[in-house]
Amino acid sequence: MALTFLLTGCANGTSSSGEISEREDNQVSRVGTEGQLIPIQSDNVRAAGYDAETLVMTVQFRNGYLYEYYGVSADVWTSFVAAQPNPWSQVGYPSLVQSGIPYKRIG
């Protein structure tokens, strides 16, 4: 089950498509969780979040460590969420670590 949150200035909705879309009232929806962590189905990831404004993706691993990844595209976030139950091995490690995305352990 993949959950992708579409966030707008006025209302929140969910979509499995994970696309940024333009609504009828010309308000652009953003993909992400406004940085809030959401549960992730995975053997090694407990939760993750994405802030579309700052392009920061936060990943909390089952061992308790918390990392921020900087300059992450919305496509990587939506692919990560859609890759459950193996988001880290299918998307996280190749798209974040192997691609050299800057990161910092914050917890």
Six token digits for residue 100:
């050299």
Compute CA 58 distance to the chain's CA centroid, rounded to the nearest angstrom: 7
Residues 30-69: b if buried by 16+ CB within 10 A, e if exposed:
bbbbeeeeeebebeebbbbbbbbeebbbbbbbeeeeebbb
pLDDT-derived band at 17 (thresholds 50, 70, 90) equals: very low
Which pLDDT tens digit goes with each residue over 31-67?
899 999 999 999 999 999 999 999 999 999 999 999 9
Q: Return d(Cα 16, Cα 32) in angstroms, integer.
A: 12
Which pLDDT tens digit goes with each residue over 61-88?
999 999 999 999 999 999 999 999 999 9
Cβ-contact 24, 36 below 8 angstroms: no
pLDDT at 26 over 90: no
* pTM reported for the whole predicted model: 0.74
